[in-house]
Structure 1
Amino acid sequence: MNKKQICWANSSYDDSDIVIVGIPDETGSHAIFAGSSAAPDHIRKISNSNDVYAEKKLLCLAQPTLGIGQARVHDYGNIKRRQIETTMAKILAAKKLPISIGGDHSNTTHIIKAMAKKHGKISLVYFDAHPDFVSHTRNYYGSVITDCLDYIDIKSSIQIGIRSPEQEELDNIKKHRLRVITPFDIIESGIKSAAKTILDTVKENVYVSFDMDCLDSSFAPGVSVPVPLGIQSTDAMYCVKKLAQRGIIGLDIMEVCPSHDLNDVTSHLASRMIGELISSCKV
């Protein structure tokens, strides 16, 4: 198996339905911990070491919950930040679904711009501990929603996992009437109710952006800005799978920080999430 690709990759670019793209860039980050630029290659490495095993001299792949399904997956490799919009445009023009691995969360702004050029304003499902709705300064990982306001349909967008907002962000959420589900909302109403709220909020052209710090630190310690009291990994993935089964136009996983991880559990979780997503995608 090619150690340079994530282990779910099984196809050439031309034959693929899903394309995995690495974006090893953290120039938009002001994070507590540096190192998210190492995540794409490290997640690939852990994917190969932890999800591939030998049985009777044969290489076997540890399958997602329901198996990998019929999706054909290609690992495009890594791109530079300046290449994001043109690369996404190429993938979308070929009617393939992109899964991007960052890098810091500001890379998502460039992905969403490309999505909007193709599809018009999108429904954004934003998993994060932080709203990323700062507006007094722009073009960094804390202003993603502000920077994307021209490209998303705010009424059909939603944030999940928010628990560490600044007052300015709370004011912007209220001003724009952006819907938010906190970890405590999930505890109170249950994950099925939360998933229904998400599915009822979004419309067509749904894009999912997943900052790994939306998860509780016990599940994902290796992130750039860890925040306790987060979402359980199975609850978050349940919602993502429901969205993927209905149909999404793309997804990114951001802010894994391998140098501050514990026994690579966060990178392995990211790898497993990609496998679960692939198994659920409507292709």
Structure 2
Amino acid sequence: MHNAPELVKTKKAIKKICWANTAGFEESDIVILGIPDETGSHSIWSGASKAPDRIRRISNERDIYYEKKLQCLALTTNGLQDTRVHDYGNIKKRQIPQAFDKILSSSKIPIAIGGDHSNTTPILKAMAKKHGPVSLVYFDAHPDFVSHTRNYYGSVITDSLDYIDVKSSIQIGIRSPETEEIANIKKHSLKVITPFDVVEQGMMEISKTVLDTIKENVYISFDMDCLDPAYAPGVSVPVPIGIESRDAMHLVKKIVQRGMAGFDIMEVCPKHDLNNQTSHLASRIIGEVVSSCKV
């Protein structure tokens, strides 16, 4: 049993995400935790820190139904497996190293809900401490490969280069790079898949490319703005001409079924959402990951 001291969670009481099916950390296979922090965001649209609690609430409103007073959990496309899921609650950004050390030392799979995308850098550092440099599958509209400014949501890849194996990493959904980011992608030979690649090559070829690129100890980081705003309008930096939610989920499931070390979902911005559509989609994505996961 891991003897790390108990983490200090944020004070606000929250409802557990609907996919959680066990109250105990020790008995779980997957641990979900929220990181309600957007201190690394430069977006003019604020509010990503509200996402963890909003996603939890919407999951309980829309992914649970009632039939003759019987409460039932909505099924995912894989059905619901026997995977044991614990919702740990929210932590502060500074607690990421301690939280992930506790989760990984107990051989559990972490699923983090942000918050802005800069939260992924300390997560990757913790993952690399456990597994060595990880294969990173980075779903995003932006490469986040700025290097003239550091330690914010636009420099995640630059800040994480020591923690990832670039040769076995890949970015998916990219369509809004800066000139500097294009140069950095070329310099480091980072593979990139754009929405136009998905259209031209089709999902079978794209899936093969992704699975041929990654290795063991895969970490998936999913910025909701990788999706077209038609599917996910409530994000911090929406960019038109994105990938479809179905295609993105297909790729995520293929990766997860192969085996993953961890997952995060970032940049939901509830204040700018439409009828909580993006929060509900985020909940469904988490449900699909849980039901596809090998534990």
1:134 and 2:153 aligned: no
Which residue of structure 1 lines up, in the alignment, with residue 5 of structure 2? Answer: none
1:200 and 2:212 aligned: yes
1:4 and 2:9 aligned: no
Contact 2:256 2:289 in 1 (8 A): yes
Which residue of structure 1 lines up, in the alignment, with residue 85 of structure 2? Answer: 73
Measured in 1, the distance between the counterparts of 2:84 and 2:204 equals 29
Unaligned runs of at least 5 residues, structure 2: 1-12
Give 2:66's match in structure 1, choosing from 54, 77, 88: 54
Measured in 2, the distance between the counterparts of 1:203 and 1:66 equals 24
Displacement of 1:192 in angstroms is 1.5
Runs of 4+ residues deviating >3 angstroms: none
1:106 and 2:155 aligned: no
Which residue of structure 2 lines up, in the alignment, with residue 123 of structure 1? Answer: 135
1:203-254: per-residue Cα shift (whole Å, max 9, x none)? 1110000000000000000000000000000100000000100000000000
Measured in 1, the distance between the counterparts of 2:14 and 2:146 equals 39
Measured in 1, the distance between the counterparts of 2:192 and 2:132 equals 23
Residue 192 of structure 2 aligns to a residue whose secondary structure is: strand
Q: Provide TM-score, normalisation by structure 2.
A: 0.95
Which residue of structure 1 lines up, in the alignment, with residue 33 of structure 2? Answer: 21
Displacement of 1:32 in angstroms is 2.8
Contact 2:48 2:116 in 1 (8 A): yes
Contact 2:227 2:243 in 1 (8 A): yes
AA aligned to 2:239 is: V
Measured in 2, the distance between the counterparts of 1:85 and 1:207 equals 16
RMSD of the alignment, in Å? 0.9
Measured in 1, the distance between the counterparts of 2:262 and 2:105 equals 13
Contact 2:171 2:191 in 1 (8 A): yes
Measured in 1, the distance between the counterparts of 2:36 and 2:78 equals 30
AA aligned to 2:16 is: Q
Residue 126 of structure 1 aligns to a residue whose secondary structure is: strand
Measured in 1, the distance between the counterparts of 2:136 and 2:241 equals 23
Structure 1 pair 146/3, CA: closer, same or farther in 2 (3 Å)? closer
Contact 1:126 1:160 in 2 (8 A): yes
> Percent of aligned pairs with the same residue?
72
Displacement of 1:53 in angstroms is 1.4
Residue 117 of structure 2 aligns to a residue whose secondary structure is: coil
Which residue of structure 2 lines up, in the alignment, with residue 223 of structure 1? Answer: 235
Displacement of 1:3 in angstroms is 6.5
1:53-88: per-residue Cα shift (whole Å, max 9, x none)? 111111111110121111100000000000011101
Measured in 2, the distance between the counterparts of 1:137 and 1:211 equals 20
Residue 95 of structure 2 aligns to a residue whose secondary structure is: helix
Residue 49 of structure 1 aligns to a residue whose secondary structure is: helix
Contact 2:50 2:115 in 1 (8 A): yes
Residue 80 of structure 2 aligns to a residue whose secondary structure is: coil
Contact 1:116 1:151 in 2 (8 A): yes
1:168-193: per-residue Cα shift (whole Å, max 9, x none)? 00000000000000000000000111
1:168 and 2:180 aligned: yes
Measured in 1, the distance between the counterparts of 2:182 and 2:107 equals 37
Which residue of structure 2 lines up, in the alignment, with residue 32 of structure 1? Answer: 44
AA aligned to 1:215 is: L
Unaligned runs of at least 5 residues, structure 1: none
AA aligned to 1:106 is: S
Which residue of structure 2 lines up, in the alignment, with residue 188 of structure 1? Answer: 200
Which has the larger displacement, 57-66 or 111-120?
A: 57-66
Residue 222 of structure 2 aligns to a residue whose secondary structure is: strand
